[in-house]
């Protein structure tokens, strides 16, 4: 359970979020809104990448601002630009880096790495230089590095923004099969049409919340798009 309790966030003189209160319990939840609406800030609060100026966020009863390490064991964050998450020279090394604190044997590490590259469709790429992957393959690698730690919650901030249609469909297909709770911030409205719930953020407030088709229709009308 993710809870926002009267959350306000200020950045300098700007109010980014205003008095947000909601509970997020569904398995797949989309967050949509115009650029600068506050949706990414809302998502970043779930694992403590941003903290409220007022109010609080709770993840299974834990406040990320006070229990950041424990919350981040439960919540993984996927950025829109995979280069922000890829650290090591090869695919296998980058995945292994995510598991460095798990104290696995060499065989256990190899097995976990092979299993996750199979899951994301990067079989045969373990020794491949990470920086030579395509943009879509890099996003699949970034997703592998967060999923291999087996989080309870995945927060993805515009995960298909830099991708072509084929890789967009691959990411969408993977998100649909995950057992984790998945929170997706996106401008790709097709991506979240089969989710259980969608929030629409405008000017730092939740202005619609509920069925994806209804919320997407509301958002399109608010943007003057049919």
- pLDDT digit string, tens, across residues 132-159: 999 889 999 999 999 999 999 999 999 9
Q: For the residues 107-123, what does the mean pLDDT come to?
A: 91
The token pair at 114 is: 């092979």
pLDDT tens-digit map of 185-205: 999 999 999 999 999 999 999
Using CA atoms, how far apart are residues 4 and 22, in angstroms rounded to an integer? Answer: 5
The pLDDT value given to residue 224: 79
Instruction: Place 226 in a pLDDT band, splitting at 50, 70 and 90.
Output: low
The pLDDT value given to residue 109: 87
Using CA atoms, how far apart are residues 160 and 104, in angstroms rounded to an integer? Answer: 32
pLDDT tens-digit map of 6-45: 999 999 889 999 999 999 999 999 999 999 999 999 999 9
The pLDDT value given to residue 17: 96
Pick from 2, 121, 134: which is nearest to 71 by CA?
Answer: 2
Q: For the residues 116-122, what does the mean pLDDT come to?
A: 91
The token pair at 24 is: 């997020």
Domains annotated on the chain, with CATH: 2-222 (3.40.50.300)
The token pair at 118 is: 């199979």
pLDDT at 225 over 90: no
The token pair at 17 is: 């979020």
Task: Check if the beta carbon of residue 214 is closer than 8 Å to that of residue 27.
Answer: no
The pLDDT value given to residue 164: 86
pLDDT tens-digit map of 40-98: 999 999 999 999 999 999 999 999 999 988 999 999 999 988 888 899 999 999 999 99
- The distance from CA 71 to its chain's CA centroid, rounded to whole angstroms, is 14
């Amino acid at each position: 359970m993710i809870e926002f309790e009267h959350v306000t966030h200020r950045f300098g003189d700007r109010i980014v979020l205003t008095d947000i209160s909601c509970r997020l319990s569904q398995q797949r939840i989309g967050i949509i809104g115009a650029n600068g609406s506050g949706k990414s800030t809302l998502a970043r609060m779930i694992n403590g990448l941003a903290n409220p100026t007022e109010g609080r966020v709770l993840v299974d009863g834990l406040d990320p601002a006070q229990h950041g390490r424990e919350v981040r064991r439960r919540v993984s964050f996927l950025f829109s630009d995979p280069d922000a998450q890829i650290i090591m020279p090869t695919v296998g090394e980058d995945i292994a880096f995510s598991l460095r604190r798990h104290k696995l044997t060499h065989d256990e590490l190899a097995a976990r790495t092979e299993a996750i590259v199979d899951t994301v469709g990067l079989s045969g790429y373990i020794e491949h230089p990470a920086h030579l992957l395509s943009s879509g393959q890099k996003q699949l690698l970034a997703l592998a590095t967060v999923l291999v730690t087996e989080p309870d919650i995945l927060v993805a901030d515009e995960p298909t923004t830099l991708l072509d249609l084929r890789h967009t469909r691959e990411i969408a297909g993977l998100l649909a099969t995950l057992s984790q709770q998945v929170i997706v911030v996106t401008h790709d409205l097709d991506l979240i049409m089969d989710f259980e719930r969608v929030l629409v953020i405008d000017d730092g407030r939740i202005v619609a919340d509920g069925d994806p088709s209804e919320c997407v229709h509301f958002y399109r009308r608010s943007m003057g798009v049919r």
